[in-house]
Amino acid sequence: MSPGICVLILSLALGASTAADGYSTMRVLNRGGHEIWSAWIIGRHPSAAHLAVADAVGQGVSTWLLWRTEHSRRRWLRVVARLAASGLTAGHVVATARADHLLAHWR
């Protein structure tokens, strides 16, 4: 697969999952919840703008690193970077599903 196509596909998937995770996080925060895993970066009760900026910076750094590693001659580095991007995407999908589940059973 060409490096450009791989970066495009993984970046779009990561961006979509990051946006969904951010949206579900704001829904939980608006209902009185708090941030757990990334509280050291954005605080326990971040504003929507703070969360959006943190997600955008993370997305930009992830995409840049993926682009840099896709142009490496080392195949193992490209494979590790692709797996890391896929893992980040899966993590955002799981976090979104957990938040949606939490919101569905919130009383």
The Cα–Cα gap between 98 and 88 comes to 15
Q: 71, 27 in Cβ contact below 8 A?
A: no
Q: Which domain holds residue 62?
A: 3-104
Q: How many domains does the chain have?
A: 1
Rounded-to-integer distance, Cα 38 and Cα 87, Å: 16
Instruction: Render pLDDT for 5-28 as a digit per residue (tens, 0 to 9).
Output: 888 888 889 889 888 888 888 888
Give per-residue pLDDT as tens, 38-86.
Answer: 667 787 788 888 888 988 898 899 999 999 998 889 999 999 999 999 9
